[in-house]
Amino acid sequence: MPRPPKPWYWKARKEWYCTIDGVRHRLGPDEQEAKRRFHEIMATPPQADASRRHRRRTGKALPPLDKAASSPANPRMV
């Protein structure tokens, strides 16, 4: 059974982190701000969270799910 997600302090980096669905999130050095950000992440629906991670990595937003399924540019979905 996996552990429930919660903020934890990484002493070597002097920052708060949490791991949600196998993804590590940096919450920052301030404990109160880290708890606020943790609750914000937990309140975000999973699809919106995936979109935010994709945008952070690539600088581009994910296409809407219905468009991706019918797009010929994505042969895996056709």
pLDDT in tens, 6-63: 999 999 999 999 998 888 999 999 999 999 999 999 998 776 666 666 666 666 665 6
Asked if the structure places residue 13 within a domain, the reply is yes
- Whole-number pLDDT of residue 75: 54
Asked if the structure places residue 22 within a domain, the reply is yes
Report the amino acid identity of residue 60. K
The C-alpha atoms of residue 1 and residue 71 are separated, in whole angstroms, by 38
Asked if the structure places residue 74 within a domain, the reply is no
pTM: 0.59
- Whole-number pLDDT of residue 9: 98
Count of domains observed in the chain: 1
Burial class of 70 by CB neighbour count within 10 A (0 to 12, 13 to 18, 19+): exposed
Q: What percent of the chain has pLDDT over 70?
A: 59
Which structure tokens are listed for 45?
A: 């629906």
Domain encompassing residue 43: 1-58
